[in-house]
Amino acid sequence: DKGNHRHFMQKEIYEQPVVVAQTLRSYLSRIDARVSLPIPEFDLGAIRRVTIVACGTSYYAGMVAKYWFEQFARVPVDLDFASEFRYRAPVMEDGGLALFISQSGETADTLAALRHARGEGQKIAVVVNVPSSTMARESDLLLPTHAGPEIGVASTKAFACQLAVLAALAANLARAKGRLSPEEERDIVRHLEETPAALNAALANDPAIEAMAHVIAGARDVLYLGRGTDYPLALEGALKLKEISYIHAEGYAAGEMKHGPIALIDENVPVIVIAPSGPLFEKTVSNMQEVQARGGKVVLISDAEGIAQAGEGCLATIEMPKVHPLIAPLVYAVPVQLLAYHVAVAKGTDVDQPRNLAKSVTVE
């Protein structure tokens, strides 16, 4: 049931504040301000390396997690698409954790990779949205997302809930490694608890995004740029746009532009820049200005501070709430989802059932 929404995708985008709160409730303990995961049958503190494997949007959630695990727990992380991982003879030492992320828990490539990692002596953790799925049954540590059924082929609320779980896992791993003080953990819990309200504030941009969608709908190519954890979001934004609006889009690490892709820039290529104010802002803005100097039309997604500093000369700006960097990837997912959604609606494509795609990909 779509309720009063036009499409399941729109309904699922709007459900995010509620389902993220729901997911966080089972991973945060308010009383002692700690993250609390199901107790694994193995010692998290003994993990020396994490291998993250997934496909599509779930892979981009994994890419955000790589930044977090390395930053907070100082554990080295390998990350791969399931379809590549399985066939590249990956090196996995004993005592490693292999982490599989999947909305459906049935994606054939990811499942094959899981079984391969099991054969290589890895502990298996899964982040899945379907608790009765095959991946859930074959795991040593089951970390469910509580997004509820996701019907739209384009994954939205599952991604947000995956990030919520992965942030909790990062904090738990950091604590197990002796890298997180109780004060730091309390801060992480506090920031995560701010997410649902920040998601609501992000959703308030819907009319502004809808109003500019026709400009993007007329483009043949669109670029998305970000740095740090906003880089996976740039990739995710491009994937969303491609799959439902059929417009060619690419996500790039902002600093990579000058190594090739900037040659594509002219006044016909809109460039979506994802840049919350913070430590990486200046650098991203200088990449953005390189684009503008070549006639590129920029849509800047930032907070009031960032827009005041760099919004001039942009085709459009989308003003996000000011959030802690930890939760920024969850919150900044909303405008890229809404943009893809409204562009697809403007183009009249089948938003919930895009051509050539299935919700669950059960062939390798």
- HSE-CB at 266 with a 13 A cutoff on CA atoms is 4
**343 binds ligand M6R, rule: CB under 6 A:** no
Site for ligand M6R in 121-160 (CB under 6 A): 153-155
Phi, psi for residue 143 in degrees, rounded to 5: -120, 90
- Shortest distance in whole angstroms from residue 88 CB to ligand M6R: 19
Per-residue tokens: 308: 């005041």
Of 317 and 337, the one with the shorter C-beta distance to ligand M6R is 337
**317 binds ligand M6R, rule: CB under 6 A:** no
Q: What is the DSSP string of 308-333?
A: HHH-TT-SEEEEEPP--TTTHHHHHH
Binding segment toward ligand M6R, per CB under 6 A, in 102-110, 176-184, 203-211, 260-268: 102-110
- Shortest distance in whole angstroms from residue 243 CB to ligand M6R: 6
Q: How many residues bind ligand M6R (CB under 6 A)?
A: 16
- Shortest distance in whole angstroms from residue 323 CB to ligand M6R: 23
Of 346 and 361, the one with the shorter C-beta distance to ligand M6R is 361
Give the span between the Cα atoms of 302 and 296, in whole angstroms.
Answer: 18
- Shortest distance in whole angstroms from residue 197 CB to ligand M6R: 25
- Asked if residue 71 lies in contact with residue 81, where contact means CB atoms within 8 angstroms, the answer is no
Q: What amino acid is encoded at 301 in this protein?
A: I
Contact pick of 28, 44, 55, 314 for ligand M6R (by CB under 6 A): 55
Nearest in space to 66 (alpha carbons), one of 175, 143, 170: 170
Per-residue tokens: 45: 């503190």
- Asked if residue 322 lies in contact with residue 306, where contact means CB atoms within 8 angstroms, the answer is no
- Name the E strands within the chain: 28-29, 34-35, 50-54, 77-81, 97-102, 123-128, 141-144, 221-226, 248-253, 270-274, 297-303, 316-320
Contact pick of 197, 208, 346, 361 for ligand M6R (by CB under 6 A): 361
- Asked if residue 24 lies in contact with residue 195, where contact means CB atoms within 8 angstroms, the answer is yes
Binding segment toward ligand M6R, per CB under 6 A, in 30-38, 55-63, 297-305, 333-341: 55-63
Site for ligand M6R in 221-250 (CB under 6 A): 239, 243
Provide, for the chain, the percentages of residues in helix, strand and coil under a 3-state DSSP scheme, each rounded to the nearest 5. Answer: 50, 15, 35
Binding segment toward ligand M6R, per CB under 6 A, in 38-46, 96-104, 205-213, 246-254: 96-104
Q: Which of 2, 322, 347, 359 is catalytic?
A: 359
Q: What is the DSSP string of 157-179?
A: HHHHHHHHHHHHHHHHHHHHTT-
**62 binds ligand M6R, rule: CB under 6 A:** no
Phi, psi for residue 319 in degrees, rounded to 5: -95, 115
**103 binds ligand M6R, rule: CB under 6 A:** yes
- Shortest distance in whole angstroms from residue 359 CB to ligand M6R: 7
Q: Give yes or no: 359 in active site.
A: yes
**107 binds ligand M6R, rule: CB under 6 A:** yes
- Shortest distance in whole angstroms from residue 156 CB to ligand M6R: 8
Question: Which residues of the shown chain bind ligand M6R in the complex (CB under 6 A)?
Answer: 55-58, 102-104, 107, 110, 153-155, 239, 243, 360-361
Active site positions, annotated: 359
